[in-house]
Structure 1
Amino acid sequence: MSEENKTYTQEQVDKLVQSETDKIRTEYTKQIKELQEKLPPEKDEKEVDLANRLKALEEREKMMDVQDELSKKGFDRELADFIKSGSDIEKLTEILKNNQNYIPDKHKGTETTITKEQFKAMGYSERAKIYNENPELYKKLSQ
């Protein structure tokens, strides 16, 4: 018999199909196992919880270190909410040290003060000028 004219029984066809299916299934099973070995192992719920607790503990320790550093430098410990590392504390110290003696021009007091006697001796135009520039001072002096 030639291959073209071969006839198979249903049982033989089923065996051939089953054999080919098994070969494919075995091949895919091997591939799946290889890929699963390459995947990182999944963490169970306890491991995830432990990792989260460890992270929270590390953050608290870092916060406490920053608070200790702040108190050593003479700052309020509550500033730790705004400062993330020791280098930020150094920057803050440097900025405050550089600006410690700074006084804005508009906040400087007037060099000349006016007494009630000087106010009484002033003319109308000088009193009007004080009234326009500083009404509260005018009220105090005119009483």
Structure 2
Amino acid sequence: MDLTSLNLTTEQMTELKGHITEEVNKGKEGFKDYISKENLAKITKTETDKVHTEYGKKLKALEDELVKYKPKNKSEAELELEKRLKLLEDKEKEISKKEKVMNIVNQLKEQGLPKEFGKYLYDVEDEKLGDEISNLQKILTENKIAGSFKPDGHKSTDISITKEQFNNMGYMERLNLFNSNKDLYEKLSQ
């Protein structure tokens, strides 16, 4: 019989070999005379079978005990409870996601940025969100300034006309003044 077929742990195998050696030594002491290899093999086999039987019984008892602790099939109530727990966890994740989106949108509004940027910032960690929003605002401000209108020359909109000059104007000149500077026209026409 091969000892490896017993599927014993290393510790059990060592203990088994020690036990066999002990039994063989007892047998040798009992036979002070010369023992042939055949007799020694028979004695060893007998002792090995005893140990194998003994450990087989212990192993079977442990397996039976292990079966007691294995989970049985789940009842319908347990399955329903697990299903409800999963639904609650999913809803909790969804609520958490909505809270994060609302937080992002609020922070964007505080910085004067469009809320549509929120979908691009969703994956950003909470600790870095403020920095990312600030960076986004800085970039947009720089682009707005860079792309804004820069006049070539400045023309004065202050037209200084006296009441006397206004009274001497013709109809077309008064109409042009009215179209270009209505406030001044009304001031002078009173």
Give the alignment's TM-score, normalised by structure 1. 0.43
Q: TM-score, normalised by structure 2?
A: 0.35
Structure whose alpha-carbon radius of gyration is higher: 2
